[in-house]
Amino acid sequence: MSEDAILKLENVKKYFELKQGILSFRQPSLYVKAVDDVSFSIDKGKIFGLVGESGCGKTTIGRCISRLETITDGKIEFMGRDISGLQKKELKQFRSNMQMIFQDPYESLNPRLTVFQSVADPLTVHESGQSQGERKDAVFKALMDAGMKTPEEMIDRYPHELSGGQRQRVAIARALVVNPKFIIADEPVSMLDVSIRAGVMNLMLDLKEKYKISYVFVTHDVAIARYMSDDLGVMYLGDMVETSETDDVIMNPVHPYTRALLAAVPIPDPDYEWEDVPIAGDIPSPINLPKGCRFHPRCMYAMDICKEKLPERVEVSDGHFVNCFFAEELYASPVKTPKELGLGSLSPEYMEGELEEGEILSGQDGE
């Protein structure tokens, strides 16, 4: 954890209880372990990227940080204050310093509100005490900061009159209007056309430099994460399996899951020779996680110890942390096969290509 961090997460957990039928009232409760013991920190003016498969817990972490969800256990510290238990007035005050940009600009804007009403809404909620003229000036400034060069032509329009890129810029303006110190961006460009993604991403980078805003940037696209992030965290089944500076993770991936993600990134070269992605099977159920390392049913390096114990966090280089029993061996060698690495032959589960469906979903390691 950095001493200069604006945000710190320590052993954060978020479990969702599943509602079962009336006939199962005597059965033990079941929980979806969306986030399970995650820790990281973000320095002021930095962007922390979160990448991983759908359902790995990226968005849930963002919602926990913004207190849209209450964490099950752990601690979230923002600007030196524990925000995990804030209530009512204190929570409202905290949210004036932290805003969220949602994934879908077609759903995050109220279709009955004009652009002006949508952007000005946070000022009303947080009782800014501004006059009507000051509020209008603040909305115009936020829209211009968000890339709307002629806000006077936009303020009376409704969302259905805007393009996808314009909607997302309005959502960004709505987040900026209260001058936040921290923004959670939940896949803010995934719903946009490729032609306008770069414009929105460059806008967010410019705002970072201009106002020293820190971000959590959630994305499933490794290429976008590399472009946007100073530091990168790779998530799998609610667990942060690897964290470091972005270029360090991209150029020196250690965890087998990180290597699989990078191997799946398209290469814009017609002469590039594709290799099989070093991963097998389907993602296990987050309700009944595999015993031991939760990645072992899909890992080509899995050994017996991986099936019995949870790996501890290993620092393979300065600030580069990996949750893997063989992190140091993998960091020291760029080879891809377990035999070359001295870890024996491929695990039986990997050689099969895919486990039996029941074994994957039950998470019982074939028992």
DSSP string, 220-261: S-HHHHHHH-SEEEEEETTEEEEEEEHHHHHHS--SHHHHHH
The per-residue pLDDT for 349 is 46
In this model, does residue 339 exceed pLDDT 80?
no
Q: Which of 3.40.50.300, 1.10.3720.10, 3.10.310.30, 3.90.550.10 is the CATH number of 5-240?
A: 3.40.50.300
The per-residue pLDDT for 337 is 47
Instruction: Of 32-46, 252-266, 305-319, give the lowest mean pLDDT range.
Output: 252-266
pLDDT tens, residue by residue, 158-171: 999 998 889 999 99
Tokens of 327: 């992190």
pLDDT-based confidence at residue 68 (cuts at 50, 70, 90) = very high
* Cα distance between residue 41 and residue 231, in whole Å: 10
* Cα distance between residue 205 and residue 25, in whole Å: 51
pLDDT tens, residue by residue, 121-160: 999 988 877 888 999 999 999 999 998 888 999 999 999 9
**Under a CB-based contact definition with an 8 Å cutoff, are residues 101 and 186 in contact?**
yes
3-class SS of residue 75: strand
Alpha-carbon distances, residue 254 vs 246, 248, 327, 338 (angstroms): 13, 10, 6, 13
pTM for this predicted structure: 0.86
The per-residue pLDDT for 295 is 93
The per-residue pLDDT for 23 is 63
Q: Which residue carries 């759908």 as its tokens?
A: 54
* Cα distance between residue 308 and residue 237, in whole Å: 17
| Portion of the chain with pLDDT greater than 70, in percent | 87
* Mean local confidence (pLDDT), 263-285: 77
Number of neighbours of residue 164 by Cβ within 10 angstroms: 16
The per-residue pLDDT for 324 is 94
DSSP string, 96-114: TSEEEE-S-TTTSS-TTS-
* Cα distance between residue 148 and residue 177, in whole Å: 14
* Cα distance between residue 51 and residue 253, in whole Å: 13
- How many Å separate Cα 107 from the centre of its chain? 20
- Nearest alpha carbon to residue 320 among 240, 214, 220, 209: 240
- Which runs of consecutive H residues, i.e. helices, occur in the chain? 58-65, 88-95, 115-125, 132-145, 164-176, 194-211, 222-228, 246-251, 256-263, 327-332, 338-341, 348-351, 357-362
pLDDT tens, residue by residue, 3-62: 679 999 999 999 998 877 666 666 778 889 999 999 999 999 999 999 998 889 999 999
| Portion of the chain with pLDDT greater than 90, in percent | 55
In this model, does residue 91 exceed pLDDT 60?
yes
Which residues of the chain form CATH 3.40.50.300? 5-240
The per-residue pLDDT for 286 is 85
The per-residue pLDDT for 347 is 44
* Mean local confidence (pLDDT), 332-358: 47
* Mean local confidence (pLDDT), 281-296: 87
Average pLDDT, the chain: 85
Q: Put residue 363 in one of left, alpha, beta given phi > 0 → left and psi -120 to 50 → alpha.
A: left
The per-residue pLDDT for 356 is 37
